[in-house]
């Protein structure tokens, strides 16, 4: 028996998973199959994308097949939302499966029956295939109603999707009217969603997601979703080699969502939201219970942890690539990236044309302004015996216990102490040292040592540094390399330099004893590549380095590796062939 309801299959670059889901679709034998595919992010991905698309040629039953394949990579948010838009331009209702959402056989009939049953009920806007209640039954019927949509296998109607707006243009009015309180009774949950929706609205196209907008569209209409009393879909992408954030077995739902068949459907006689079910999702799936136990209300939530868990749950690996972007942009995050903000792969490398016309690097007013305004707060954090888990590049100077920031500063303290060992004074050159923040840290951690501190910066930043930090020797050219120093440190300049190899050789000549590369974004498998970094309301080209290549270049300068430092930061780069990790190294001049 064939399925009369159209199935929309959204695929990308995982032919092995695509095959498994396709085989379940083939057993259902839909009369219409609509296939949406995103384009490859880089040339090496073309073959996998083609292999995934090739499975559609295996349709051997009576079926109308329509395809919507993109030649270019649109990203998760734009591709999936535009694909769904295309689907509903062809059909009135459909079942949706992504390439890592493996349904049981009865999932299809469950969706078809409920699509027909609630076809004209405007309040019901979506049908979930996943059950997130940890084995707890909420009703005696086959399903209950929830405010949460879940994209791990779902179904809906054109009449519901017409309310979707990728840019959430109505959000400011919804927020101003306090309508979030009508949807979320829990104050913690209100805070969570306000900050998440703020981030999506304020950064259209940057936060690469689509289904939070779908959730918002349903809330805007006071809509509900249906959640089955048993789980009908498993996510086979958890731990997959091509998954971005769900590799390994540490995913919060790995191995916990078993699937069951639904033999018959017992309809609910009412359409009322099950608040206990929704409270369970927020408290035990998103993390609200942990948040309430750890933090005081309302400002100190560990939002990064909550959002990451939420995105991992509600978005399959093909979509959750935007999670790090959200972490980096949120203004009150407690675990933010080390100043990298939003980044995207630039396949044309240093020849990439930026939207602002030229690659000025840090020579822009917004950089100087952003760094200067936090100067007083930065120095206040250094007073007393508080932790060093803060960063001058972070948006919130009240964040003082970030382990990534702490690692950078403690690594510097160790290196400075080593360079100053048995000395009353030590000379330091910070190449690319912003406003001289490390001089302030040095004075705080080694108050009994005189530090002769020198900073090389771009002219605009150097001029600001002279005004704000006059104890430092400032350079806006390479005359600083005309002498040697006990310690030369590179804190972030090299990624912005196309001629970085020559620069490394020039800088190394000024190394009297130690060279400290404080933090560098590195990869291990792919060659070095360039990305576009969106930071401080500007754009600049930024390089990610193959670690082996960097170490070899430094070795050629005659310096010997002393120690590697784990920083821990992993800024997400949209479309990159390999995601990077920030690390540091200490080198020493060989004794003559």
Helix (H, G, I), strand (E, B) or coil at 183: helix
Query: Does residue 284 have a cis peptide bond before it, meaning omega lies within 30 degrees of 0?
Result: no
Residue 255 gets the label, from left (phi > 0), alpha (psi -120 to 50) or beta, of left
The domain spans of the chain are 7-327, 342-589
Is residue 213 within 8 Å of 166, Cβ to Cβ? yes
Closest by CA position to 454, among listed 445, 476, 236: 476
Q: Which two tokens stand for residue 136?
A: 């707890």
Helix (H, G, I), strand (E, B) or coil at 185: coil
Residue 492 has a pLDDT of 82
Instruction: Kindly list the averaged pLDDT for each block of 10 residues, start to end, along the chain of length 592.
Output: 91 95 97 96 89 95 96 90 97 97 96 98 97 93 96 96 95 94 92 89 76 96 97 79 45 63 95 96 85 50 49 45 44 38 83 69 67 88 90 76 88 96 95 94 95 94 93 96 96 90 95 95 92 76 93 95 89 86 93 64
The CA distances from residue 557 to 212, 482, 517, 523, 564, in Å, are 51, 17, 14, 22, 18
Neighbours of 516 (CB within 10 A): 28
Superfamily of domain 342-589: Vaccinia Virus protein VP39 (3.40.50.150)
Q: Return the CATH number of 7-327, one of 3.90.550.10, 2.40.30.10, 3.40.1440.10, 3.40.50.300.
A: 3.90.550.10
Closest by CA position to 134, among listed 306, 304, 341, 277: 277
Pairing status of strand 538-546 against strand 511-523: parallel
Is residue 531 within 8 Å of 578, Cβ to Cβ? no
Residue 248 has a pLDDT of 43
Residue 292 has a pLDDT of 72
Pairing status of strand 559-566 against strand 581-589: antiparallel
Phi, psi torsion values for 538, nearest 5 degrees: -140, 175
Pairing status of strand 154-157 against strand 93-98: antiparallel
Residue 493 has a pLDDT of 87
What crossing angle do the helices spanning 46-54 and 15-28 adopt, rounded to 10°?
A: 10
């Amino acid at each position: 028996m064939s399925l009369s309801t159209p199935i929309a299959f959204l695929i990308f670059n995982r032919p092995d998973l695509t095959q498994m889901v396709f085989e379940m679709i083939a057993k259902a034998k839909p009369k219409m199959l609509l296939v949406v595919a995103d384009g490859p992010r880089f040339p090496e991905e073309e073959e996998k994308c083609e292999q995934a698309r090739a499975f559609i040629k295996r349709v051997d039953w009576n079926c109308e097949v329509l395809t919507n394949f993109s030649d270019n990579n649109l990203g998760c948010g734009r591709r999936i939302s535009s694909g769904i838009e295309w689907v509903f331009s062809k059909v009135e209702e459909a079942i949706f499966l992504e390439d890592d959402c493996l349904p049981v056989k009865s999932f299809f009939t469950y969706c078809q029956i409920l699509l027909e049953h609630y076809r004209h009920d405007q309040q019901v806007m979506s049908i979930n295939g996943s059950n997130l209640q940890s084995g707890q039954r909420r009703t005696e019927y086959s399903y209950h109603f929830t405010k949460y949509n879940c994209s791990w296998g779902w179904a809906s109607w054109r009449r519901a999707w017409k309310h979707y707006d990728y840019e959430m243009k109505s959000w400011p009015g919804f927020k101003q009217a306090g309508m979030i309180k009508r949807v979320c009774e829990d104050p913690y949950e209100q805070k969570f969603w306000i900050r998440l929706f703020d981030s999506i609205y304020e950064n259209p196209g940057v936060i690469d997601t689509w289904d939070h907008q779908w959730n918002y569209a349903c809330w805007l209409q006071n809509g509900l979703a249906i959640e089955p009393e048993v789980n009908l879909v498993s996510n086979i992408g958890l731990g997959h080699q091509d998954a971005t954030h769900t590799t390994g077995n540490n995913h919060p739902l790995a191995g916990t969502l078993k699937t069951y068949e639904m033999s018959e459907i017992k309809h609910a006689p009412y359409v009322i939201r099950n608040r206990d079910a929704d409270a369970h999702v927020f408290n035990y799936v998103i993390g609200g219970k942990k948040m309430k136990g750890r933090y005081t209300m309302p400002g100190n939530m560990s939002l990064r942890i909550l959002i990451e868990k939420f995105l991992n749950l509600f978005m399959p690996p093909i979509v959750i690539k935007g999670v790090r972007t959200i972490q980096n942009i949120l203004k009150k995050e407690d675990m933010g990236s080390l100043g990298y903000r939003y980044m995207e792969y630039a396949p044309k490398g240093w020849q990439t044309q930026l939207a602002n016309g030229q690659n000025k690097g840090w020579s822009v007013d917004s950089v100087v302004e952003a760094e200067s305004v936090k100067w007083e707060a930065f120095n206040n954090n250094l007073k007393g015996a508080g932790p060093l888990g803060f960063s001058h590049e972070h948006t919130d100077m009240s964040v003082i216990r970030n382990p990534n920031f702490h690692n950078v500063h403690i690594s510097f303290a160790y290196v400075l102490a080593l360079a100053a060992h048995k000395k009353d004074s030590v000379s330091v050159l910070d190449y690319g040292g912003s406003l001289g923040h490390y001089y302030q840290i040095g004075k705080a951690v080694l108050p009994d040592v005189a530090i002769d501190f020198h900073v090389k910066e771009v002219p605009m930043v150097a001029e600001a540094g002279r005004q704000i930090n006059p104890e430092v020797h400032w350079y806006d050219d390479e005359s600083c390399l005309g002498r040697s120093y006990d310690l030369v440190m590179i804190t972030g300049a090299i990624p912005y330099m196309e001629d970085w190899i020559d620069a490394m050789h020039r800088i190394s000549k000024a190394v009297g004893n130690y060279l400290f590369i404080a933090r560098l974004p590195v990869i291990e498998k792919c060659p070095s590549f360039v990305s576009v970094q969106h930071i401080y309301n500007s754009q600049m080209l930024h390089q990610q380095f193959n670690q082996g290549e960097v170490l070899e270049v430094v070795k050629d300068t005659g310096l010997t590796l002393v120690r590697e430092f784990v920083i821990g930061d992993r800024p997400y780069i949209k479309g990159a062939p390999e995601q990077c990790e920030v690390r540091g190294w200490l080198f020493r001049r060989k004794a003559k």
